[in-house]
Amino acid sequence: MVNLIIFGAPGSGKGTYASRLKERLNVEVIATGDLFREMIKLDTPLGRKVKEYVEKGLLVPDDITLEVLKENLAKIPKGKGFILDGYPRTIWQAQSLEEIAKIDAVIHLVVPDWIIIKRLSSRRICQNCGAIYNLIFLKPKRDMICDKCGGPLYQRSDDTAEVIKKRIEVYEKQTQPLLNYYRGKGVPFVEAKCEKLETPPEVVVEEILKGLKKLNIA
């Protein structure tokens, strides 16, 4: 059983790599962004609160995020680990997490800004099933139509170059103290670099697994 946190700027590939590591490491992936989007879609009272913050590009308050996290950690079968994507985002959240679970390692994705901007501004998502495409290296067979369900594809409002740059700046400002916090606590790090736009996800996943094996936790 292994408990991991994956850190990386928006568009660095956290979701893509985590979904592949899920199978290889037999863990659950808890992505707070996906959980928030689902809550907003279901239009729950908590979802409406979350929506107010998400639409303004602000962090969802710590207490709400922790409540959502606890609920989802409780659903993980006993003896099975997890990868956290999008949590913690503040030192308070990191300290709260320590009271709930032990973190074995931090995966840190290092990707140049220009790759992130190119990737995200080319991303398209199916309105029906949520399948993700990329107009550069993962095009749908028919223009703007989902291969899986035939639904229409759309571009997220925060996937434009201008907004992406702002999101990267916010991420770096918020995340550096967290990286320092975990280093200060002696939590092992696995750094995975991606320096080419066309690097296949499998290459980065293998690099991460190699790093985890060196730490004897995979």
User: What angle, rounded to 10 degrees, do the helices at 201-214 and 14-25 form?
Assistant: 50
List Cα–Cα distances, 104 to 88, 98, 109, 188, in angstroms: 14, 11, 17, 7
State what percent of residues in the chain have pLDDT above 70: 100
Q: What's the pLDDT score for residue 57?
A: 76
Q: What's the pLDDT score for residue 130?
A: 87
Q: Are 108 and 192 in contact (CB under 8 A)?
A: yes
Average pLDDT taken over every residue of the chain: 92
Give the residue numbers marked as catalytic.
Answer: 14, 89, 123, 156, 167
Once rounded to an integer, what is the mean pLDDT over residues 195-199? 88
Q: What's the pLDDT score for residue 6?
A: 98
Q: What's the pLDDT score for residue 67?
A: 87
Give 54's pLDDT tier (boundaries 50, 70, 90): confident
pLDDT tens-digit map of 127-156: 999 888 989 878 999 999 999 999 999 998
CATH number for the region 3-214 comes to 3.40.50.300
pTM attached to this predicted model: 0.83
Cα–Cα nearest to 175, from 12, 4, 5, 9: 9
pLDDT tens-digit map of 73-126: 999 998 899 999 999 989 999 999 999 999 999 999 999 999 999 989 999 999
